[in-house]
Copies of this chain bind each other. A is one copy, B any other.
Amino acid sequence: MSLLVVGSVAFDGIETPFGKVARTLGGAATYFSVAASYFTHVNLVAVVGKDFTSKDAAIFRGRHIDITGLERAPGKSFFWAGRYSADLNDRVTLATDLNVFADFRPMLPPAYRDSKYVFLANIDPTLQRSVLHQVRGRPKVVALDTMNYWIERTPQELRETLKHTQVLMINDAETRQLAGEHNLLRAAARIFKMGPSTLVIKRGEYGALMVHARSVFSVPGFPLGKVCDPTGAGDSFAGGFMGYLARAGRVNDVTLRRAMVYGSVMGSFACEGFGLDRLRRLNRAAIHQRARHFWRLTQFRI
């Protein structure tokens, strides 16, 4: 079923212990849509500047990604630069130039308005809500990412948007901050009172934890022989998760667990190359092979 993503398409400058790129295509919506496109059709809403060329747009071509909703605005595209620590667990932001993204007012093309699966990447919660107002009927799943900036600066707007969200997908620090509670299970209980019925906690190299009313599910980080660049891993996770769910067309504990695994699969691939290098060169066979690898990594009999 149709999957809508609203978020950033950006250029990134990335420094890791394994290399440096001054400017490569990135942004949450880019990672998300490339990852999700291996599973389902994706409708993309974002804004880029005049520096975004046809060559840049090639990332979306030949995939199931509709970019009718990719607005071209006068000015430059969002630019982010960061440097990772030696162990890749920390990063410092070197630049955040919002550029055209500062005035982003997401507008859904008419064909997008029937989307049944919606992912609201990490942007202003007021904009996230404006997207939901443009969707006709009631989506099957609205998933949302956010960050400390919105939790601290626009708590009321975020709370309002969370009322219309089924799946909240954030990291453990954000979970604790939003709930005002260190213990993750008790934090989840508080968050369920805000609207979401499912909480997906991303924990980087340690994997991800999903909590909903009837079950808790944990999937480990994939032990990679080499982690090249973690940029976009969380958004690729979200893409695999929502892409799989939209493809399955059913939301229950079985499909949610599989979505967690396919999310982890896509997040692990994202780390194996700089920027989108590995993610863009996948195929379904490689994805299923890694999902089976996750199965061997976690299964036991008692």
| A binding-site residues for B, Cβ under 8 Å | 86-87, 182-186, 203, 206-207, 209, 211, 215-220, 223-227, 254, 257-258, 260-261, 288, 291-292, 294-302
Query: Do B218 and A220 touch (CB < 8 A)?
Result: yes
> Which residues of the partner chain B approach A291 to less than 8 Å between Cβ atoms?
302
Query: Do A300 and B257 touch (CB < 8 A)?
Result: yes
Q: How far is the CB of A180 from chain B (nearest CB, A)?
A: 13
Query: Do B223 and A218 touch (CB < 8 A)?
Result: yes
Query: Do B302 and A261 touch (CB < 8 A)?
Result: yes
Question: Contact check: which of B185, B226, B302 meets A224 at CB < 8 Å?
Answer: B185
Separation of A98 and B62 alpha carbons in the complex (Å) = 68
Separation of A161 and B54 alpha carbons in the complex (Å) = 62
Q: How far is the CB of A300 from chain B (nearest CB, A)?
A: 4
Query: Do A298 and B261 touch (CB < 8 A)?
Result: no
Separation of A218 and B203 alpha carbons in the complex (Å) = 15
Q: How far is the CB of A240 from chain B (nearest CB, A)?
A: 13
Query: Do A216 and B223 touch (CB < 8 A)?
Result: yes
Separation of A89 and B125 alpha carbons in the complex (Å) = 32
Q: How far is the CB of A288 from chain B (nearest CB, A)?
A: 8
Query: Do B302 and A217 touch (CB < 8 A)?
Result: no
Which of A207, A295, A298 has its CB near the most chain B CB atoms (within 10 A)?
A: A298
Query: Do A302 and B207 touch (CB < 8 A)?
Result: no
Q: A183-B226, A206-B206, A218-B220 are in contact. Are A299 and B299 (CB under 8 A)?
A: yes
Q: A86-B182, A209-B223, A220-B220 are in contact. Are A302 and B297 (CB under 8 A)?
A: no
Which of A203, A257, A300 has its CB near the most chain B CB atoms (within 10 A)?
A: A300
> Which residues of the partner chain B approach A218 to less than 8 Å between Cβ atoms?
207, 220, 223, 297-298
Query: Do A217 and B87 touch (CB < 8 A)?
Result: no
Query: Do A182 and B302 touch (CB < 8 A)?
Result: no
